[in-house]
Structure 1
């Protein structure tokens, strides 16, 4: 059945065909891939990382379940313990370098003998990196290919700077300095996806129509913090008398936000090729458009 919902796309300083780094908004796409894989019987919530990834001899990480990863309750740390976080943070701060860039094999090596914490809510980039790659491996392909097969060609997962093309925007820091693109095979499921604005608009429309693959990812299934619930990556919060399902993201040179008021049947995505939170305009646009019945993309 054809959708009657409208998608409005507005851009400033760029073309609609250009792509943005969407940072941790990548996680909601990974969450939807997980929910879609559940529906297709490819994995179950009890499937472990060791069932899908080559983790023999990696200790407790192999026994972590995909279901716990999807709601940030795996006990995994925020980042892989072998990342040399301080050194990479300094390199980014001083020279604008990409702090990521690992291959999947390098990421798996970093998780060897990782220590698990308690299974309480704990936001984990590492967890979603592993979740996305595990889903893809269980489905017999690599993550970027699975992403495009499910959601379309408007998404990309560059592994190296050489993978970027003229339509792939270069981002800037909060101070306006051009920074290196955040690319890397390992990063993709948690923060390495690029998207054009039209594809994000179509994603919103399909979510509102409930035709999107893995749309059940938006349903909150666990508590994340007081008054905050979580589905498969998607966060649900009360906001000025409404219930909003959303996620944000940031890389060194980009910021992003996506949110949906499912009761009002409206959605908004905001993406910027400059580092600096866009949550406030995202929530504000969603509030303004709550009575319009349209999916809106800025």
Structure 2
């Protein structure tokens, strides 16, 4: 792999300024009305990155697509699609999509403290379980007051529920709606030589975050070329489930949320975006839809790339600022 940035000259000159050195395996894509650019270091066009919580934004699009096809409705509750009773079974799909379901971030039955300790000490995947395990862990969850509260559990359930409504697995629904280039591996054995190994902030290799249960909330993988094409389609307005990007509720003051996608004002511009983080990866996707410009940053290291993503979008969406 290359140890210096390579790619389109103009983008390389920008990322060399805004990324600190040394840089781990990283790839950046920019799409403007005039062109598409990529820049890479420590990776190639075939390298596959974990997207982390950008998966939630994709799941939001799957949800909207299933609703728009009449296979489910926003008011449909979980027990109509998954074997869940009690209060959890009465949570509706729209509340899950806007993080207003009252569900916690993780189910207590998952033993998050033990899993978090194993993650920090041994680099283990804290989410490596099946859908059956997730449903078993969820049945005892207490539903709180519906209010804006970021929930990994909520998006796990949303993704698997809409897949059930479509008569499919989540991984297959993802590829049917958004393209076969996206993958959601359920097992480590499903990974190949192109799947990068991520590092924690201290440079330790981390185990892959794979698993059937986590896929809708943080288990999707893609290459930078796939994400560049996805960006172009978003800016063109062509993918199924595009309405997921449009805010329908407040998430925090001055921050809106659609189905997973976040919208905020940044230097006077409305930016639609999401970020992601796993044990060994960080990611960011953002669009200035009015300017027809978008940016994706994928990094094989657990270190936020939000600042670099916003900076890069500033450079290309409103360079005169």
TM-score category, normalised to shorter length: over 0.9
- Does residue 55 of structure 2 align to residue 29 of structure 1? no
- Does residue 253 of structure 2 align to residue 221 of structure 1? no
Shift of 1:182: 0.6
Shift of 1:7: 2.4
SS in 1 for 2:272: strand
- Does residue 135 of structure 2 align to residue 108 of structure 1? yes
CA contact (8 A) 2:185 2:210 kept: yes
CA distance in 2, matches of 1:287, 1:182: 31
- Does residue 167 of structure 2 align to residue 136 of structure 1? no
- Does residue 263 of structure 2 align to residue 236 of structure 1? yes
Shift of 1:159: 1.1
Structure 1 stretches of 4+ with a deviation exceeding 6 A read none
Structure 1 residues 136-175: aligned runs within 5 Å: 136-175=163-202
SS in 1 for 2:256: strand
Shift of 1:47: 1.0
Of the candidates 62, 70, 78, which is equivalent to residue 49 of structure 1? 78
TM-score, length basis structure 2: 0.88
Instruction: Rate the CA distance shift 1:5–1:40 in 2: closer, same or farther, 3 A.
Output: farther
- Does residue 36 of structure 2 align to residue 7 of structure 1? yes
CA distance in 2, matches of 1:230, 1:264: 20
Structure-2 residue corresponding to 1:295: none
- Does residue 219 of structure 2 align to residue 196 of structure 1? no
Structure-2 residue corresponding to 1:80: 107
Aligned residues: 288
Structure-1 residue corresponding to 2:273: 246
Shift of 1:5: 5.4
CA distance in 2, matches of 1:269, 1:101: 26
CA contact (8 A) 1:170 1:181 kept: yes
Instruction: Rate the CA distance shift 1:5–1:146 in 2: closer, same or farther, 3 A.
Output: farther
Instruction: Rate the CA distance shift 1:4–1:229 in 2: closer, same or farther, 3 A.
Output: closer
Instruction: Rate the CA distance shift 1:4–1:290 in 2: closer, same or farther, 3 A.
Output: closer
CA distance in 2, matches of 1:252, 1:49: 29
SS in 2 for 1:267: strand
Shift of 1:6: 3.0
Structure-2 residue corresponding to 1:296: none
CA contact (8 A) 1:5 1:205 kept: no
CA distance in 2, matches of 1:23, 1:277: 12
CA contact (8 A) 1:49 1:134 kept: yes
Cα deviation code 1:106-163 (max 9, x no counterpart): 0000011311111110000000000000000110010001101111121111111111
Gaps in structure 2 of 5+ consecutive residues: 1-31
- Does residue 282 of structure 2 align to residue 255 of structure 1? yes
- Does residue 174 of structure 2 align to residue 118 of structure 1? no
CA contact (8 A) 1:7 1:202 kept: no
CA contact (8 A) 2:109 2:140 kept: no
CA distance in 1, matches of 2:68, 2:176: 16
CA distance in 1, matches of 2:151, 2:180: 27
Cα deviation code 1:74-101 (max 9, x no counterpart): 0100111211111111111111111111
Gaps in structure 1 of 5+ consecutive residues: 293-298
CA distance in 2, matches of 1:80, 1:136: 21
What is the RMSD of the two structures over their aligned residues, measured on CA atoms? 1.3
